[in-house]
Amino acid sequence: MSVFLERVKQALSSWWSSRPRRVGLALSGGAVRGIAHIGVLQVLEEAGVPIHCIAGVSAGAAVGAAYAAGLSPERLEEIALDLRWTHISRVRAPRLGLLDISPLEEYFNELVGHELTFADLRIPFAAVAADIVRGNLVVLREGPVAPAVRASCSVPGIFTPARLDGRLLVDGGVLNNLPVSVARELGAEYVIAVDLLPKGRLHREPRHLIEMLSATIYTLMRATHFEASLADCLIQPLVVRMSLIDFADAPALLKAGREAAYAALPQLQRDLGLAPRR
Q: pLDDT tens, 121-151?
A: 999 999 999 999 999 999 999 999 999 999 9
As beta bridge partners, residue 136 has: 131
Structure confidence at residue 201 (pLDDT): 55
Structure confidence at residue 217 (pLDDT): 65
Query: 10 in a domain, yes or no?
Result: no
Average pLDDT over residues 28-46: 96
Radius of gyration in angstroms for the set of CA atoms belonging to the chain, rounded to a whole number: 19
Q: Is 58 annotated as catalytic?
A: yes
**Would you say residue 15 has pLDDT above 50?**
no
Q: Is 13 annotated as catalytic?
A: no
Residue 275 binned pLDDT confidence (cut-offs 50, 70, 90): confident
**Would you say residue 245 has pLDDT above 70?**
yes
Query: 213 in a domain, yes or no?
Result: yes
**Would you say residue 274 has pLDDT above 50?**
yes
Structural domain count of the chain: 1
Q: How far apart are CA 252 and CA 248, in angstroms?
A: 9
**Would you say residue 116 has pLDDT above 60?**
yes
How many other CB atoms sit within 10 Å of the CB of residue 53?
24
Tell me the residue range of the domain where 78 lies: 22-272
Burial class (CB in 10 A: 0-12, 13-18, 19+), 46: middle
Query: 4 in a domain, yes or no?
Result: no
Q: How far apart are CA 20 and CA 22, in angstroms?
A: 7
Q: How far apart are CA 173 and CA 154, in angstroms?
A: 10
**CATH no. for residue 88?**
3.40.1090.10
Query: 123 in a domain, yes or no?
Result: yes
Residue 16 binned pLDDT confidence (cut-offs 50, 70, 90): very low
Q: How far apart are CA 219 and CA 214, in angstroms?
A: 8
**Would you say residue 29 has pLDDT above 70?**
yes
Q: Annotated catalytic residue: which of 131, 171, 195, 249?
A: 171
The candidate with the shortest Cα–Cα distance to 187, out of 84, 16, 52, 50, is 52
**Would you say residue 12 has pLDDT above 50?**
no
The candidate with the shortest Cα–Cα distance to 47, out of 23, 65, 70, is 23
Residue 187 binned pLDDT confidence (cut-offs 50, 70, 90): very high
**Would you say residue 92 has pLDDT above 70?**
no
253, 41 Cβ separation under 8 angstroms: no
Q: How far apart are CA 80 and CA 77, in angstroms?
A: 5
Residue 183 binned pLDDT confidence (cut-offs 50, 70, 90): very high
Structure confidence at residue 14 (pLDDT): 47
Name the pairing type of β-strands 90-91 and 136-140: unpaired
Average pLDDT over residues 258-269: 97
Structure confidence at residue 97 (pLDDT): 74
Q: How far apart are CA 25 and CA 188, in angstroms?
A: 8
Quick one: which H or E segment has residue 167? strand 167-171
Report which listed range, 89-98, 207-216, 249-258, is most confident: 249-258
Please, which contacts does 207-216 make with residues 24 or more away whose CB atoms are closer than 8 Å? 209/98, 210/98, 210/158, 210/245, 211/244, 211/245, 213/98, 213/157, 213/158, 214/31, 214/155, 214/158, 214/244, 214/245, 215/244
Name the pairing type of β-strands 190-194 and 167-171: unpaired
**Would you say residue 208 has pLDDT above 50?**
yes
Residues 6+ apart with CB under 8 A from 271: 190, 232, 233
- pTM over the 0.85 mark: yes
**Would you say residue 91 has pLDDT above 90?**
no
Query: 61 in a domain, yes or no?
Result: yes
Q: Annotated catalytic residue: which of 58, 102, 152, 243?
A: 58
Query: 162 in a domain, yes or no?
Result: yes
Residue 216 binned pLDDT confidence (cut-offs 50, 70, 90): low
Q: pLDDT tens, 48-69?
A: 999 999 999 999 999 999 999 9
Q: How far apart are CA 134 and CA 124, in angstroms?
A: 27
Q: How far apart are CA 171 and CA 74, in angstroms?
A: 27
Higher-confidence residue: 204 or 117? 117
Average pLDDT over residues 18-43: 91
Query: 261 in a domain, yes or no?
Result: yes
Query: 152 in a domain, yes or no?
Result: yes
Structure confidence at residue 1 (pLDDT): 52
For the chain, the average pLDDT equals: 87
